Amino acid sequence: MNTRKALSLMLVVFFVVSLLMVVGCEPEAEPEDPDEEVVEPEPEDPERPVRWTLASGWVAGVYYPVSGAMSRIAYENMDNISLTAESSGASVANARLIGTKDAELAILQNDIAYYAQNGIQMFEGEGIPEMRGFFTLYPEHVQIVASADAGIENPGDLAGKSVAVGPLGSGTEANTVQILEAYDLTFDDLGTVERLTASEAADFLRDDRIDAAFFTTGLGAAAIEEVAIVKDVVIVSIEEDKIDWLLETYPYYSDEVIPAETYSGVPEARTVAVLAMVVGHADLPEDLAYEYTSNVFENIDTIHGAHERGTLITLDTALDGMPIELHPGAEQYFQEQGLLD
């Protein structure tokens, strides 16, 4: 055997040995069962829940805990919808998120929903006619929280003071403008105009960095109680004739009293309120909108347990103060419940 042949033989032996080693390492193949069904890799599951974003509000407000309860209801009871609650500046920002389809559902004030759908006030020239109503929730009081020693007896005394007028994108800011208007004041008459988040406004009040802050939110909001427990604050009352003017000029306001001790040590106050509500995009499929609405009311205890204001959300009052056209899915549910003709 010449050297070339010997080399070739060695190569062949090496190849055969390697092959045997590889095969030897392979796990034993299952014998094929001709009766077994072949399971194909799963394609995109059309039955998977659609993901919806629910634009809510301030972490230290009331929209946020209520939205959290809604997303829990979806998680526990809805096969078709997964709902994620997101915090935001609130009403005005949320209306815009519906317009751009960055959120499927949103909580906002009923006055702001009306302005948005009709393209008036802050929505002049950029209305959101595709916004639809689902149901209303609970009253949101305009709460003007002031340091007890700032000498603010009524909103007219805010002239020259340092004031948090509401977070960017809030409905609160619109209410602040209107209440100042009732006193013939504008932002220009204030000493300083601060645009802070609700939590920042609470911190600034506590640290005497501002004299007063506006919050349009449900009674019992964490942001206000956080200040009240550590500092002497009052809620500034709006005078009767100014309340009358506000009710006549802006029809979504109601005349309200904030009972004493709603917040630790804070005396009674008189103010105006709007209603919180849920809206969604007109394009949301009718069956899913129906499923969401029916599940909220069939599992309302979850919302009642999330915040004291949640207990005011009831089927009987679900269409009170509804300022815009209903989504057909919600409409069908309320029709079945006998709330509509």
Please select the residue that binds ligand GLU; options are 67, 71, 91, 237, rule is CB under 6 A: 91
Residue 197 binding ligand GLU, by CB under 6 A: no
Please select the residue that binds ligand GLU; options are 170, 176, 262, 271, rule is CB under 6 A: 170
C-alpha 99/C-alpha 130 separation (Å) is: 7
Residue 90 binding ligand GLU, by CB under 6 A: yes
C-alpha 108/C-alpha 93 separation (Å) is: 9
Cα angle for residues 195, 197, 110 (degrees, 5° grid):
90
Question: What binding mask, one character per residue, do residues 100-139 give for ligand GLU by CB under 6 A, x or -?
Answer: ---------x------------------------------
Rounded to the nearest whole angstrom, what is the least distance from the CB of residue 221 to ligand GLU in the complex? 6
317: left (phi over 0), alpha (psi -120 to 50) or beta: alpha
C-alpha 186/C-alpha 178 separation (Å) is: 9
Helix/strand/coil (H/E/C) assignment for every residue in 285-339:
CHHHHHHHHHHHHHCHHHHHCCCHHHHHCCCCCCCCCCCCCECHHHHHHHHHCCC
Tokens of 154: 């009524």
C-alpha 111/C-alpha 216 separation (Å) is: 12
Q: Contacts with ligand GLU in 285-324 (CB under 6 A)?
A: none
Q: Contacts with ligand GLU in 220-249 (CB under 6 A)?
A: none
Please select the residue that binds ligand GLU; options are 216, 237, 293, 299, rule is CB under 6 A: 216
Nearer to ligand GLU, 258 or 288 (CB): 258
Binding window for ligand GLU (CB under 6 A); candidates: 23-31, 114-122, 212-220, 250-258? 212-220
State the DSSP H helix or E strand holding residue 16, giving kind and residue range, or none if neither: helix 3-25
Binding window for ligand GLU (CB under 6 A); candidates: 118-126, 166-174, 258-266, 282-290? 166-174
> Residue holding tokens 């960055």?
102
Please select the residue that binds ligand GLU; options are 63, 114, 138, 292, rule is CB under 6 A: 63
**Helices and strands, number each (H, E), in the chain:** 11, 10
Nearer to ligand GLU, 62 or 179 (CB): 62
Binding window for ligand GLU (CB under 6 A); candidates: 42-50, 73-81, 163-171, 227-235? 163-171
Return the closest-CA partner of residue 85 out of 113, 61, 109, 111: 61
Residue 55 binding ligand GLU, by CB under 6 A: no
Residues in touch with ligand GLU (CB under 6 A): 57-58, 61-63, 90-91, 109, 140, 166, 170-172, 216-218
